[in-house]
Structure 1
Amino acid sequence: MSAEPIGPYRRRRVSALGLWSFEDWRVKVYGLTLHGSAPPSALVDQGREIARERLSRASREDLRRHGLAVLIVHEGENGDYVLVEWWSDNDILRHHNYGAPKGHGGRFVHQWPGPAACIWELAIVEFERAAWIRHVLEPAGGPDVAAYLDARLDAFV
């Protein structure tokens, strides 16, 4: 165990920041923050640029992708994080994590291999997993992509 004490759990705000489309991607955008209701818009814009680059690359490299993605922009206590996730091959969630210390000036580092997600980011991933199963994999009449895209988490986690 680390010499640092393990601190108390403090809930953070998850805000559904809408649906973003570019190329043939539809992206559910989430903000996650300890302070306020959403990360600063400049940070969200940086997250979108990172996602645009990563998903454009995925368009060329991942031939089994579904064109449905999740972007998590996390204004953390000690740094800022951008998670780019997309559904592929029916039941696989591809994951790329970017991080930067506070005061980074937009210089994010691709953390691969590296950390997957923190406990707050995992709450969004858990919600998205359940929504994918409920709306895409389970319906007897076939996938309901519109219902999946409409399912959004907006809560303290």
Structure 2
Amino acid sequence: MDWWSNENELNHHVYISKHGEKPQFEYCTPKGLIACTWDLKVLNFERDCWVMAVLNNPAGTPDIDQYLQYHMNEDF
């Protein structure tokens, strides 16, 4: 679970569950887990979109609507 705060800080909490079973999520952030290899690709995409639309927007003002229009369309 991720969300942006203070303009440029990404808050990140990790919950995991075994694959193929009824989800029983365990909160893992205090154990030091950041993300799996596959999650990092998504996090990098989100970071790049945030920088383009909000922090480095050529119009000079943050554009949250533009940020929300970005979609990652890739197979892993």
Bucket of the pairwise TM-score, normalised by the shorter protein:
0.7 to 0.9
- Paired residue total: 74
- Cα distance in 2 for residues equivalent to 1:104 and 1:118: 19
Please identify which structure carries the higher helix content: 2
Q: Quote the Cα distance in structure 1 between the aligned partners of 2:42 and 2:3.
A: 13
Tell me which protein shows more strand as a share of its residues: 1
Map of 1:49-128 to 2, 5 A cutoff?
84-113=1-30, 114-128=32-46
Q: Which structure 1 residue ranges, 4+ long, deviate > 3 Å from structure 2? A: none
Return the TM-score normalized by structure 2.
0.86
**Residues 155/104 of structure 1: CA separation in 2 closer, same or farther (3 Å cut):** same
Q: Quote the RMSD (CA, aligned, Å).
A: 1.4
Q: Which runs of 5+ in 2 are unaligned?
A: none
Q: Which structure is larger by alpha-carbon Rg, 1 or 2?
A: 1
Distance in 1 of aligned mates of 2:20 and 2:48: 35
TM-score by length of 1: 0.44
**In structure 2, distance between residues paired with 1:124 and 1:137:** 19
Greater shift after overlay, 119-128 or 96-105? Answer: 96-105
